[in-house]
Amino acid sequence: MKILVINAGSSSLKYQLINIDDESVIAKGMCERIGIDGRIKHTAFDGREYVEEAEMKNHTEAFKYVEYALVKSDAAVLKSMSEIGAVGHRIVQGGAIFDKPELVNEDVIEKILELSELAPLHNIGSVQGIRACIECLGSELPQVVVFDNSFHNTMPPHAYMYAIPYEYYEKYAVRRYGFHGTSHKYVSAKCAEVMGRDISELKLITCHLGNGSSITAVDGGKCIDTSMGFTPLDGLIMGTRSGSLDPSVVTFLGEKEGISYKEMSELLNKKSGYLGVSGISNDDRDLQEKAAEGNERAKLAIKMLDYQIIKLIGSYAAAMNGVDAIVFTGGIGENVDVHRAAVCKGLTYLGVDFDFEKNAGLRGRIAELSKPGSKVKIYVIPTNEELSIARDTYALVSGK
Ligand code: ADP
């Protein structure tokens, strides 16, 4: 079966067409700047490309370009859209309502929209993506929604509650939700597979490090804690997000600088993190380059990330009373050896015996980076959120 995986944001629509039988990618692409002007970039499995700048007023117009790219362009891979057996949508916020993938119907769409208060940009974009697919492909084609935080719904209340008056949990569902769940689920399952062990007997810490970063404690295959919180702002320093800070910083700065809530949200989500500390860039590659030239603030931002990862790993090892393996994934986790080395240098107390030589230069492939006798194993496992969504979609529509 061919499954189309859609990841729609407020102004973008990413897609991947996956053949679930052999789990190969048939084509992938992205529409950007929807509602502003519009651009599609599409790549077929054999490298053929279709790129076009064209007005896309909304997600439905963008999806028409996806159809064109898949069926009619020079990089077409289908004779007709009817070859697609199902569509899987990534949804960022499923709240505490959705703890597993669901088939799309009006009731489900309604609930996703209700949850959009918790993630306005993301969930509304996702629903626009779903509606575009229904409009263009018809309501007969099964569509499945896969929630980014449902993997984290196994967290116990003592991990997900914030110590603020309980009424705000009851009134507004303010609590830790966590994100990147699809990735943490995928790499933890893959890690158990690579180790040749049953996940139910493993304590794992999965580090998804990219533009957005989060760390999850997975005990017996279940998430028991994760670093992102009510929103994806919490936890580690990220590309442009601050990560955790004393909430008093927000009230203090708000008063001193006369910053509104909206501006504060923008400051913490878009102007902080790597970008805010370094004043250079949100991208790790740029900071590594500047750090190598001696730029102190680039060095500081990089050091802050490594230090925070070490601290979180320590706290999750404590929370699980042990750890069997630590997994690095995401753009930084998969590709940046200096981060992995800096972090693992700080984990010798746990019994990590890191293979620095094997780590050097390793990029984007599965590898064990701990030495054979290491008490705690270290792995690099490239994430594959689209494949995970395609698998969940297939499982639901085929009943397997
Ligand atoms: P997102 O969180 O937006 O999905 P990614 O997981 O792609 O982003 O991570 C982006 C980060 O990973 C950037 O800081 C970038 O510098 C780094 N990165 C991604 N790919 C590479 C690579 N091949 N080599 C070095 N760094 C990379």
Q: Which of 211, 236, 288, 359 to mutate to test the pocket of ligand 1 (most atoms within 8 A of CB)?
A: 211
The pLDDT of residue 4 = 98
State the pLDDT at residue 120: 66
For ligand 1, the distance from its centroid to the CA atom of residue 82, given in whole angstroms, is: 35
| Segments of the chain scoring below 50 in pLDDT | none
Are 217 and 152 contacting, i.e. CB atoms less than 8 angstroms apart?
no
User: Over 188-231, what HEC string results?
Assistant: HHHHHHHHCCCHHHCEEEEEEECCCEEEEEEECCEEEEECCCCC
Task: Say if CB 74 and CB 48 are below 8 A apart.
Answer: yes
Residue 301 is predicted with a pLDDT of: 98
| Among protein residues, the one whose CA lies closest to atom 19 of ligand 1 | 331
For position 9, what pLDDT does the model report? 87
> In ligand 1, which atom is closest to the CA atom of 363?
23
Q: What is the pLDDT of residue 125?
A: 87
How far apart (Å, rounded) are the C-alpha atoms in residues 267 and 193?
Answer: 41
Instruction: Tell me if 2-147 shares its fold with 197-385.
Output: yes
Atom of ligand 1 nearest to the CA of 211: 2
- pLDDT score of 353: 98
Active site (annotated) includes residue 148: yes
Ligand 1 atom closest to Cα of residue 330 = 6
In the chain, which residue ranges form alpha helices assigned H by DSSP?
59-71, 106-114, 120-137, 157-160, 167-172, 181-195, 247-257, 261-270, 273-278, 284-292, 296-320, 330-335, 337-345, 356-359, 385-398
Residues 6+ apart with CB under 8 A from 161: 169, 175, 176
Residue nearest to atom 23 of ligand 1 (CA): 335
Contact call for residues 212 and 180 (beta carbons, < 8 A): yes
Q: Looking at domain 2-147, does it have CATH number 3.40.47.10?
A: no
Q: Where are the domains of the chain?
A: 2-147, 197-385
Helix (H, G, I), strand (E, B) or coil at 25: strand
| Residue with CA at minimum distance from ligand 1 atom 12 | 331
Ligand 1 centroid to residue 164 C-alpha, Å = 35
Q: Residue 223 is encoded by which pair of tokens?
A: 């998430």
- CB under 6 Å to ligand 1: residues? 210-212, 239, 283-285, 330-332, 335-336, 363
- Ligand 1 mean position, distance from CA 331 (Å): 3
Distance 211 CA to ligand 1 centre (A): 6
Among 182, 332, 338, the mutation site with the greatest number of ligand 1 atoms within 8 A of its Cβ is 332
pLDDT confidence of residue 399: 86
Atom of ligand 1 nearest to the CA of 288: 16
Residues 54-85: tens digit of each pLDDT: 999 999 999 999 999 999 999 999 999 999 99
Asked if 394 and 86 touch (Cβ cutoff 8 Å), the reply is yes
Helices 247-257, 261-270: crossing angle, 10 deg rounding:
120
Q: How far is the CA of 282 from the centre of ligand 1 (A)?
A: 10
Among 283, 289, 337, 384, the mutation site with the greatest number of ligand 1 atoms within 8 A of its Cβ is: 283
The pLDDT value given to residue 122: 79
**Choice among 22, 37, 148, 246 that is catalytic:** 148
CATH of 197-385, one of 3.30.420.40, 2.60.40.420, 3.40.50.970, 1.10.3980.10: 3.30.420.40
